[in-house]
Amino acid sequence: MQMELREFISTLEKYGYLRKISHPVNWKYEIGEIVRQNHTQPLLFENIADYPGCRLFTGGFSRIDYLGINLGLKMPVNRKSLLAHLRKGLEKPIESVYVQCCPDCLYKAADEVNLHDLPVPWWNPLDGGRYIGTWHLNITKDPFTGKRNAGVYRMQILGKNQTTVSASEKSHLAMHMKNAERLGKDLEMAMAIGVDEVLVLAAASSVPFGYDEFSFAGALRGEGVKLRQCKEIALEVPLEAEYVIEGKLKCRTRVKDGPYLDYAGKPAINPAAYLFEVRSISSRVDAIFRGMAVGRVGAEDHQLFSILSALNLVDFHGSALRQRVQNFFLRYRMFSLFQLSGRFSAMVKSLKR
């Protein structure tokens, strides 16, 4: 059975894991600081300054117990049984299901779009701005084959209808973009925020090019992921997504992303990120924003990479040696060393430039 984000949040609450933060908090720095201080706890912010009625969830992946709850595994979860469950999913992918209906959504067309209407934190004073994409899905299709890709690539707000998308040159999104640019076209992209956590796990995994990450997620759930058609573009998104942002990556256009405190705990800049131009935003009634504060040792992204490394599903697109070293640190949960190795490779890369 699928578990949409809001159902996961209430399940965590039943288990006594959820902490609700109902006093007023500032989206600028304060949310990020609270998340870093409570980095192993699921948090629901219910009172965000300037965003009355908006909520933000974080921390759903910060311990494997939470993932075990999400997948309906027997508690307490041990890493071995969790990995066995995930391995089984890779063997028998389940195709997604396309549905016509759609939950009640508030819809904003191009002329009404303003990304600043979303409760997006400025996660860290070292960041160059507000990051809307920290724990989400980027969905695209290969313009030649029509095959879908879902990944997680950070996104910084640049204006009311523009963001960056910082994808590694060897990522599958970059391959789609290369093909679109060969045709001289923009690439349609949908961003889904606030989805079933298993979808984020599947999207962050380095499955082969052309393999549909949603079918991996389907297998983990034992049923196909329910997808609905986007409104403006020819892509499908998870039915239960809290927010769906539709738009296009602009052909042959690159922009600066960052600085951004990344997984290595150091501010990084990508001078050649893609430019995403937003065409519409749909949000569920009482939508819950999902994001995370990257940069702390053992944060949610490290926990996720650690699980994926045990399945050989992490690819940092570096040398084979670097990959082996990083896999080792991740598997044995040596997150400080993992960060150090990330910093070292960033330094080597900058010396080569």
Ligand X SMILES: Cc1cc2nc3c(=O)[nH]c(=O)nc-3n(C[C@H](O)[C@H](O)[C@H](O)COP(=O)(O)O)c2cc1C
Strand partners, 57: 44, 290
Report, in Å, the least distance between residue 91 CB and ligand X: 19
- Which of residues 162, 168, 179, 323 is near ligand X by CB under 6 A? 168
Pick between residue 227 and residue 292 the one whose CB is nearest to ligand X: 292
Q: Rounded distance, CA 54 to CA 202, Å?
A: 27
Query: Residue 213 CA to chain centroid, in angstroms?
Result: 13
Pick between residue 280 and residue 345 the one whose CB is nearest to ligand X: 345
Pick between residue 166 and residue 280 the one whose CB is nearest to ligand X: 166
Which residue is nearest to ligand X, using beta carbons?
151
Are 279 and 113 within 8 A, CB to CB? yes
Binding mask 196-215 for ligand X (x = CB under 6 A): --------xxx---------
Binding mask 53-82 for ligand X (x = CB under 6 A): ------------------------------
Q: Rounded distance, CA 19 to CA 129, Å?
A: 27
Pick between residue 172 and residue 226 the one whose CB is nearest to ligand X: 172
Name the one residue in this structure whose structure tokens are 């519409």.
Answer: 280
What's phi and psi for 232, nearest 5 deg?
-110, -20
- Which of residues 198, 248, 301, 306 is near ligand X by CB under 6 A? 301
Q: Does 173 bind ligand X (CB under 6 A)?
A: yes
Pick between residue 2 and residue 171 the one whose CB is nearest to ligand X: 171
Tokens of 138: 């980027």
Pick between residue 96 and residue 280 the one whose CB is nearest to ligand X: 96
Residues from 127 through 166 that contact ligand X (CB under 6 A):
134-135, 149, 151-154, 166
Are 228 and 334 within 8 A, CB to CB? no
Contact set with ligand X (CB under 6 A)? 134-135, 149, 151-154, 166-168, 171-173, 204-206, 301, 304, 315
